[in-house]
């Protein structure tokens, strides 16, 4: 008997950030802010159907296609597709940042989805899922720690 691997369709992480929603939106969507908590380099056309690029300390570069840009509540992009390729569910993952104001702070939910649609082996999907589940947790902790300081810096 062969057992199938149950692969979740998405990773969901949520965190409360002690900063107003407008400040968190800026930190999540402005390239000069993104490089403070996420990637080493960032380029982003801040609009739906915009393009972008993230380069990480590991040397990996990911090209982005902005799927949604709805200030200050939702920012979504597809990534991991080949450079020059059109981002589709079969060749990329969807990352969504969903922001909600909560008593002067911001509840941020990050959803990375598409594991059930991308054309990868089950082994590749499981490895990616495990790595990114841990990675998003660490990245959101960095964001949580950085955003209140960015807020203070912006007001000085």
| Closest C-alpha among 4, 41, 16, 12 to residue 105 | 16
pLDDT in tens, 35-50: 999 999 999 999 999 9
Find the largest Cα–Cα distance for the chain. 65
User: How many domains does one find in the chain?
Assistant: 1
Q: Which residue would you say has higher pLDDT here, 152 or 96?
A: 96
**Within-domain flag for 107:** yes
Over residues 86-104, mean pLDDT: 93
pLDDT in tens, 51-78: 999 999 989 999 999 999 999 999 999 9
**Within-domain flag for 147:** yes
**Within-domain flag for 46:** no
As a whole-number percent, the residues of the chain with pLDDT over 70 amount to 93
**Within-domain flag for 118:** yes
**Within-domain flag for 38:** no
Rounded Cα distance between 18 and 151, Å, is 10
Look at the alpha carbons of 117, 119, 124, 128 in this order and tell me if their dihedral is positive or negative.
negative
The H or E element containing residue 67 is: strand 61-70
**Within-domain flag for 47:** no
pLDDT in tens, 18-39: 999 999 999 999 999 999 999 9
Mean pLDDT of the chain: 90
Residue 118 sits in a domain whose CATH number is: 3.30.530.20
Range of the domain at 83: 10-29+68-155
Q: How far is CA 67 from CA 20, 48, 49, 136, 155, in A?
A: 24, 5, 6, 20, 31
Asked if 47 and 67 touch (Cβ cutoff 8 Å), the reply is: no
């Amino acid at each position: 008997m062969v057992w199938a691997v149950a692969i979740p369709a998405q990773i969901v992480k949520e965190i409360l950030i002690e900063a107003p929603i407008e400040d968190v939106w800026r930190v999540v969507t402005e390239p000069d802010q993104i490089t403070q908590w996420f990637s080493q380099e960032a380029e982003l056309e801040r609009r739906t159907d915009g393009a972008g690029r993230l380069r990480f300390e590991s040397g990996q570069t990911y090209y982005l296609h902005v799927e949604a840009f709805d200030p200050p509540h939702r920012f979504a992009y597809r990534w991991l597709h080949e450079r020059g390729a059109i981002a589709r569910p079969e060749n990329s993952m969807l990352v969504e940042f969903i922001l909600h104001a909560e008593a002067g702070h911001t509840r941020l939910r990050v959803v990375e989805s598409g594991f059930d649609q991308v054309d990868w082996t089950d082994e590749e999907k499981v490895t990616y899922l495990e790595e990114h589940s841990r990675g998003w947790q660490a990245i959101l902790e960095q964001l949580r720690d950085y955003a209140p300081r960015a807020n203070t810096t912006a007001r000085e």
